[in-house]
Amino acid sequence: MNTGSKPDISREKSAELYEKAKNYFPGGVNSPVRAFKSVYGTPLFIQKGDGCFVWDADGNQFIDFCGSWGPLILGHNNAKVREKVTEVMQSGMSFGAPTALENELAELIIKNNKFVEKIRFTSSGTEAVMSAIRLARGYTGKDKIIKFEGCYHGHTDSLLVKAGSGLVTFGETSSAGVPKSFAQETIVIPLNDTEAIKAAFEQFKGEVAAVIIEGIPANNGLLMQDPEYIKSLEQICKENNALLIFDEVITGFRIGFEGAAAYYGVKPDIVTYGKIIGGGLPVGMYGASAEIMGHISPDGGVYQAGTLSGNPVAMAAGIAQLTELLRSGFYKELNNKATEFAESIQRFATARNYKLKVFHVGSIFWMAFTDKDKIQSAEDIDPASMEKFKLMHRELLNRGIYLGPSGYEVGFVSAAHTKIELEKAKRAIFDSLDVVFRNK
């Protein structure tokens, strides 16, 4: 039974740790969204995670739908991942030299993913995207990149841009420290607008090296694109001798082993992946055909390196995790569970006439305070709706549910979420929505 707003949980120890952290780190954090600027209260300092649960420094237990921002598809502290990592660590943790583990993980990926023939491991998704952009420029001999409003590709200088005014614009820097000249090699256009990309290629004829898009944009809400639109990007790139880059740092190995490329039936020229291939440890990867990857040093003239690339601990975690993902029926079971969860929330909201839409694909979901049936671009999101998310986030924390601390972030269901925990989470979400819509 809904008893209204819940009292705030104790955050005394987290608050103390946060005050101390401010002495060491800008804003007290090592990544901006962790600062809880978009929601109530101070950040939670997480002490441990197990299965679908996390516990903070004050001992509060939460059912977690953040999952380290997606890569923990098996849940926290998975036994098989932990055991493999522990076994490998006995022989050392970093060599800066090749190991057999790199071969083993690469073979697992390449044998089961038709979109890559050769790969290169990196230490983060940002690094993978940065390297993919350099490869595209080196391969094509062109400089300009087309990206889309509402897509985030890490904090690489030339991609950390926002759109100017007009249909087709040069990027404008959205961070201090990014030279204007870097941003002006990036052309920013709206999502879901075929005419805009055609106009961009016409305006910058012969200058565009690549088009980069999140496989399914999921860093600024879950912006589901029409299949016809995604397929048109592939065709337009071919017609203009430009490469299509799919940034699958979030969607890769999450909605299926072959990610959004398989979901849409599109063959990108280069694909980037993130920490899911390292069981949540710092890993990234980019891959393409053997011909395109042949341009990477030492085979070709495009330089990219990394002392910790392919480090044995991350490779071990990746081998254990991806082996589980290849188990027969894994994705069907996980995606069905996530679909039922998302659709149950939607049924509740619809029955109550609440202005809420739950968008989902695979095991990714996003709750948007809107009555629109489709949200396909950044402009479709009402910034005022984030006030409702802010209230819901506090109510959910007080009921033992952890979502990422921003209404623009998506949530993730993991294999560790059982029916019991998902039922508890649904009840908490229902009660929290009742509070939100009673107060607004």
Residue whose C-alpha is closest to residue 183's, from 193, 191, 173: 173
Residues 6 or more apart whose CB falls under 8 angstroms from that of 137 comprise 143, 145, 209, 210
| Among candidate residues 235, 250, 306, the one with its CA nearest the CA of residue 66 | 250
Residues 6 or more apart whose CB falls under 8 angstroms from that of 14 comprise: 42, 43, 44, 45, 56, 57, 58
Residues facing 212 on adjacent strands:
245
pLDDT value of position 1 = 46
User: Rounded distance, CA 58 to CA 235, Å?
Assistant: 54
- The pTM of the whole model exceeds 0.85: yes
**Res 183: pLDDT:** 74
Question: Which amino acid type is present at position 312?
Answer: P
Catalytic residue positions, numbered:
152, 247, 275
* Contact call for residues 288 and 394 (beta carbons, < 8 A): no
Pairing status of strand 270-273 against strand 243-248:
parallel
CATH of 12-77+329-439 among 2.60.40.10, 3.90.1200.10, 3.40.50.2300, 3.90.1150.10: 3.90.1150.10
Nearest to 134 by CA among 145, 122, 148, 146: 145
Look up residue 14 and give its two tokens: 């987290």
CB 209 within 8 A of CB 145: yes
CATH of 79-325, one of 3.40.50.2000, 1.25.40.10, 3.40.640.10, 3.40.1010.10: 3.40.640.10
pLDDT of residue 173: 60
Q: How far apart are CA 48 and CA 396, in angstroms?
A: 19
Structure tokens at 165: 């005014």
What local confidence, expressed as pLDDT, does residue 333 receive? Answer: 98
Instruction: From 126, 133, 132, 174, select the one nearest 150 (Cα to Cα).
Output: 174
Give the pLDDT of the chain (440 residues) as one tens digit per residue. 455 889 999 999 999 999 999 999 999 999 888 889 899 999 999 999 999 999 999 999 999 999 999 999 999 999 999 999 999 999 999 999 999 999 999 999 999 999 999 999 999 999 999 999 999 999 999 999 999 988 888 877 667 676 544 444 455 666 777 777 777 788 989 999 999 999 999 999 999 999 999 999 998 899 999 999 999 999 999 999 999 999 999 999 999 999 999 999 999 999 999 989 999 899 999 999 999 999 999 999 999 999 999 999 999 999 999 999 999 999 999 999 999 999 999 999 999 999 999 999 999 999 999 999 999 988 899 999 999 999 999 999 999 999 999 999 999 999 999 999 999 999 999 999 999 999 75
Which is it for strands 46-50 and 208-214: parallel, antiparallel or unpaired?
unpaired
Tell me how far apart the alpha carbons of residues 128 and 214 are, in angstroms, rounded to a whole number.
13
Asked if 419 and 28 touch (Cβ cutoff 8 Å), the reply is no
Phi, psi (deg, nearest 5) at residue 411: -115, 160
Three-state DSSP state, 287: strand
Domain ranges of the chain: 12-77+329-439, 79-325
Other CB atoms within 10 Å distance of the CB of residue 10: 12
CA distances from 87 to 245, 248, 277, 312 (A): 36, 30, 18, 11
